[in-house]
Amino acid sequence: MTVFLTGASGLVGSAFARAAARRGHRVVGVVGGHASGVEGLAEKRTLDLADAGATTAAVLDVFPEAIVNCAAVSSPDACEVNPAQAQALNVALPALLAQLAHHVSARFVHLSSEQVFDGAQTTPYRAGDAPSPIQLYGRQKLESERAVDAVAREEAATLRAPLLMGNSLAGRRSPHERLFADWAEGRVPRLYTDEFRQPCTAENLAEVMLELCERPDVRGVVHWAGAEVISRHALGRRIRDHFKLSEKEAPIVAVTRAETPDATRKRQACLALDLAPLVGKLKTRPQTIAEQLEELKVPPPYREWYLKR
Ligand SMILES: NC(=O)c1ccc[n+]([C@@H]2O[C@H](COP(=O)([O-])OP(=O)(O)OC[C@H]3O[C@@H](n4cnc5c(N)ncnc54)[C@H](OP(=O)(O)O)[C@@H]3O)[C@@H](O)[C@H]2O)c1
């Protein structure tokens, strides 16, 4: 199948491109500022996806069987800094891609986030639970879900994803890559002992997205995540142990949410996701933390620090 992939240079998009190529799909990938190659792409196009005319022309030119949207302003902080740009990428773009998917009868797979929930619930959020975002990023993701559903109910599946582990192209995006950056550059990360997430890797999520491309019977908003819920502090320690780093080489300070009330107003305490009904429909399985750690590589920008430490 020919897939039109946005965000092909991102953490998830680059994993999707590799996975789709392994399965024999032809992937035309759109990047923004990323200048070098992306493994798995049959064709790479550089495009500003905030430009609706150029995006429409590219989709109509490729005339894909599936559109997969991995482009976004994916950092909540970046959304607060430039809300208009974030609105263009996080809301207007998925709405446009959904319309185009409807127009060319393509399957549409869109990515949303666990951050549509407020994190106050201690039991896992179900896909049908009422969303209640607490920051702009979560509100935009929710708006995108609704916009997609309004124009492409038959064609679209919107996947709410958790905190994502994995290996990004630049090596500075995912949790272990950010920890390496802190350690290599002499900073001490402060990680919450009482902030819980249910991570999976971008590779595992990409497998799910591929299955969704091939399964047009799955529609609407669905959840995916890992098999375990873990605190950010415990996750940091597991990452440190996995790479056999000592406490001296890779220090971590444990903090609680109560110690940083200003910072935690816009951070959810507990984001666990109920994976039904999707988990019962797919071959891909949710990963344990140990399985996720096995996939992680030493990030290229910090390889020298790691080898010399
Ligand atoms: N990472 C997570 O923990 C996480 C968790 C839950 C949900 N999600 C969601 O999953 C999706 C993928 O996230 P990610 O972590 O893979 O994001 P990412 O690594 O930040 O990648 C974002 C992608 O969007 C592209 N992009 C941004 N602005 C663009 C523009 N104006 N024109 C063209 N391309 C543009 C970037 O291209 P260039 O780099 O080439 O400019 C990059 O390929 C997003 O919808 C995100 O909200 C992510």
* Model confidence pLDDT, tens digit, residues 189-219: 999 999 999 999 999 999 999 999 999 999 9
Per-residue model confidence (pLDDT) at position 305? 98
User: Which residue's C-alpha comes closest to atom 48 of ligand 1?
Assistant: 74
Q: What's the total number of domains in the chain?
A: 2
Amino acid at 91: V
Pairing between β-strand 196-197 and β-strand 230-231 as defined by DSSP bridges: antiparallel
| CA nearest to 176, candidates 186, 185, 163, 167 | 167
Per-residue model confidence (pLDDT) at position 270? 98
Euclidean distance between CA atoms 251 and 96, whole angstroms: 45
For residue 200, what are the CA distances in angstroms to 88, 231, 275?
27, 14, 12
State if residue 110 touches ligand 1 by the CB under 6 angstroms criterion. no
Q: Is the pLDDT of residue 263 over 90?
A: no
Query: How many C-beta neighbours within 10 Å does residue 261 have?
Result: 8
Overall average pLDDT of the 95-113 stretch: 98
Euclidean distance between CA atoms 259 and 191, whole angstroms: 12
Query: How many C-beta neighbours within 10 Å does residue 120 have?
Result: 10
Euclidean distance between CA atoms 5 and 2, whole angstroms: 10
Overall average pLDDT of the 144-168 stretch: 98
239/93 same-domain check: no
User: Which residue's C-alpha comes closest to atom 14 of ligand 1?
Assistant: 11
Tokens of 132: 């209640």
Euclidean distance between CA atoms 296 and 285, whole angstroms: 18
b/e code 167-190 from CB counts within 10 Å (16+ = b): bbbebebbbbbebbbbbbeeeebb
Give 157-184 as a DSSP string: EEEEE-SEES--SSS-SSHHHHHHHHHH
Task: Examine residue 175 and state whether it is found in any structural domain, yes or no.
Answer: no
Task: Examine residue 173 and state whether it is found in any structural domain, yes or no.
Answer: no
10/92 same-domain check: yes
pLDDT in tens, 283-302: 999 999 999 999 999 999 99
54/146 same-domain check: yes
89/212 same-domain check: yes
State if residue 70 touches ligand 1 by the CB under 6 angstroms criterion. yes
pLDDT in tens, 51-83: 999 999 999 999 999 999 999 999 999 999 999
Task: Examine residue 171 and state whether it is found in any structural domain, yes or no.
Answer: no
Q: Which residues pair with 205 in a beta bridge?
A: none
153/301 same-domain check: no
Distance from Cα 7 to the centre of ligand 1, integer Å: 5
State if residue 71 touches ligand 1 by the CB under 6 angstroms criterion. yes
Residue 106 Cα to chain centre, angstroms: 22
| Helix (H) or strand (E) segment spanning residue 60 | helix 52-62
Task: Return the DSSP state at 91.
Answer: I
Euclidean distance between CA atoms 36 and 50, whole angstroms: 21
Per-residue model confidence (pLDDT) at position 276? 97
Range of the domain at 249: 180-193+230-270+290-308
Task: Examine residue 283 and state whether it is found in any structural domain, yes or no.
Answer: yes
Tokens of 34: 């990323």
State if residue 55 touches ligand 1 by the CB under 6 angstroms criterion. no
Helix and strand numbers (H, E) in the chain are: 12, 14
Mean pLDDT estimate for the chain: 98
